[in-house]
Structure 1
Amino acid sequence: MENLLGLLRVRIQRGVNLAVRDVTSSDPYVVVKMGKQKLKTRVIKKDVNPVWEEDLTLSISDPNLPIKLTVYDHDLFSPDDKMGDAEFDIKTFIEALKMKLQDLPTGTVVTRLHPSRKNCLAEESCITWNDGKIVQNMCLRLRNVECGEVELQLHWIDLPGCKAL
């Protein structure tokens, strides 16, 4: 890909209070899509508060494309049930990367994003300087479902030979 800017590591940390789809619980997994890319986490059995701590890595060539996240309940004998979805964009994260920050104390907040009708944030999302890297933590409120949130973290990976940001 000639327009590749770098890689975005999306760490799917955990689900909180996810919807019940199998009588008393669910077997959730997360699918992350951006453009033609589609990645998914492992299934966690019988847990509406699953902890994945799983890294999914997207190749970023167009930072204006939104990233869509959908939670599903894994079923053996029928199609998997949807347990809500959320969408986020990485424009603000990319802008923070472009600032070329250096020598800040770890934990310095570079930018704060507030929940609004235009985003799926459940709470304020901070873009912070962490050990020489820009990191963004997000808690997304799932849409099209009665309840549930997904916590994730974004990291940027520069690739040699890619167009620098």
Structure 2
Amino acid sequence: MDNQIGVLKIRVKRGLNLAVRDSKASDPYVVVKTAKQRLKTRFIKKDCNPEWDEELDLPIDDPDLPIKLKVYDHDTFTLDDKMGYAEIDIKPLLEALKTTGENHVPNGTVLTKIKPTRTNFLAEESHIMWENDKVVQEMCLRLRMVERGLVELQVSWIDDPGASSS
């Protein structure tokens, strides 16, 4: 990555109340992508409330571009079915990083709260916190273009591109 400014560490925790795409359930997985990179979780068989608990390291070139998240139902003999999409806006996380700088704050300190709006994909208030010597953001994203579904994530930032462990 030529102009990489850092790495976004995305922990895809779980899906909640995802849409049914097979007879009684779905085999969901998550794809996270930028203009240059595409990463995905494993699929979980027959579960509309999957627990992925997977970390994906996504190199970032331009923090102004949204990170796209799509959920699919894995199918063996046909194209995978779409189960909704969301976007991750990392600008609030990067702003919180600037405000903490070298100041060490107590573990668990909430630095910023972001409320859900019509323009973001948040299903509930998101907290950006200082946790274990880094800035992390917990978020629950509401999937769009689907009848229902949420995805819970935790994101954090790695300044040094060489620190990526994918």
Q: TM-score range by the shorter chain?
A: over 0.9
Q: Aligned equivalents of 2:43 and 2:88: distance in 1? A: 22
Q: Aligned equivalents of 1:105 and 1:68: distance in 2? A: 32
Q: Is the 8 A contact 1:102 1:132 kept in 2?
A: no
- Unpaired runs of at least 5, structure 1: none
Alpha carbon RMSD of aligned pairs, Å? 1.4
Q: Does 2:122 align with 1:145?
A: no
Give the deviation of 1:48 after TM superposition: 0.4
- AA of the residue aligned to 1:26: S
Give the deviation of 1:31 after TM superposition: 0.3
Q: Aligned equivalents of 1:8 and 1:84: distance in 2? A: 22
- AA of the residue aligned to 1:42: R
> TM-score normalised to the size of structure 2?
0.93
Give the deviation of 1:161 after TM superposition: 7.5
Q: Equivalent residue for 2:114?
A: 113
Say which SS state the counterpart of residue 92 (structure 2) adopts: helix
Q: Equivalent residue for 2:87?
A: 87
Say which SS state the counterpart of residue 10 (structure 2) adopts: strand
Tell me the matched-pair count.
162
- Unpaired runs of at least 5, structure 2: none
- CA deviation string 1:35-77 (max 9, x = no partner): 1211100010010000001011111121001011000000001
Q: Equivalent residue for 1:104?
A: 105
Give identity over the alignment, percent.
Answer: 62
- CA deviation string 1:95-145 (max 9, x = no partner): 111221522111111011110011010000000000211000010000000
Q: Aligned equivalents of 1:77 and 1:53: distance in 2? A: 27
Runs of 4+ in 1 over 2 A off after TM superposition: none
Q: Equivalent residue for 1:157?
A: 158
